[in-house]
Amino acid sequence: MDKKNDKLISELFLKMEIPVVTNNEIKAVCDVAANYLPNVQRKVNLWEIIRLEVSSISLLYWAICAAIMVCCSIVINCAASEISVIGMITVVSPIPLLLSIIELLKNRNPAVSELEQVCKYNIGQLYVIKIMIGLFCNLVVLSFITIFTAGHNGGALQLMLTGSTVMFFLGFIVLEVICKVGKSLPVMGILAGWIFVSSIFFSNENELVVSISRIQLATLTTIFVFSIALFICGLYAFAKQLKFLKIGDVEL
Please state the domain count of the chain.
Answer: 1
Lowest mean pLDDT among 25-29, 48-52, 244-248: 244-248
Distance, in Å, from the CA atom of 215 to the CA atom of 181, rounded to the nearest integer, reads 35
Note down the domain range covering 153.
21-244
Tell me if 1 is assigned to some domain.
Answer: no
Tell me if 14 is assigned to some domain.
Answer: no
* Stated pTM of the model: 0.70
Tell me if 175 is assigned to some domain.
Answer: yes
Tell me if 123 is assigned to some domain.
Answer: yes
Tell me if 79 is assigned to some domain.
Answer: yes
Query: Which pLDDT band, with edges at 50, 70 and 90, does 2 fall under?
Result: low
Residue 13 has pLDDT above 70, yes or no: no
Tell me if 252 is assigned to some domain.
Answer: no
State pLDDT tens for residues 32-89.
666 655 444 445 667 777 777 777 788 888 888 888 888 877 777 776 555 567 777 8
| pLDDT in the model for residue 118 | 56
Residue 15, amino acid: K
Tell me if 15 is assigned to some domain.
Answer: no
Tell me if 213 is assigned to some domain.
Answer: yes
